[in-house]
Copies of this chain bind each other. A is one copy, B any other.
């Protein structure tokens, strides 16, 4: 391919990065808005989702799975603890680690908040046919999985 052709092959409305930015910001804004309504925010979301999936992780494990910095995890947990949605429990063998657990209140939020998230996801995907939706999610998941292996 010639250099000129290559340049012509690039357009904003066909550029992966731009398209991702647009759709992601819509998804983020919509979910954040719903979380704000119950006094939470998007920064807390990865941690909550992870804890609904598995409790008893250390902060290091939690940070790694949420792909957030360790100091961010500290502050998110501070906020969630202040709201009495999570608690730091003693690690059985290490006195410098904590194990993070949801409180009953934190656990109780799961079904309502996941319903909100699914609602946002569904509404964004609703412009695609059902089998297109599955196709899209599969390809997207494939990209995520491949990049995580790096």
Name A residues whose Cβ lies closer than 8 Å to a Cβ of B: 3, 6-7, 9-28, 31, 46, 49-50, 53, 67, 110-111, 114-115, 117-118, 120-121, 124-125, 127-128, 132, 135-137, 139-144, 146-147
Contact = CB atoms under 8 A, between A and B. Distances in A.
Nearest to A17: B27
Copy number in the complex reads 2
A132 B138 CA distance: 10
A141 B24 contact: no
A136 B24 CA distance: 15
Contacts of A14: 137, 141
Contacts of A132: 139
Contacts of A15: 49, 117, 121
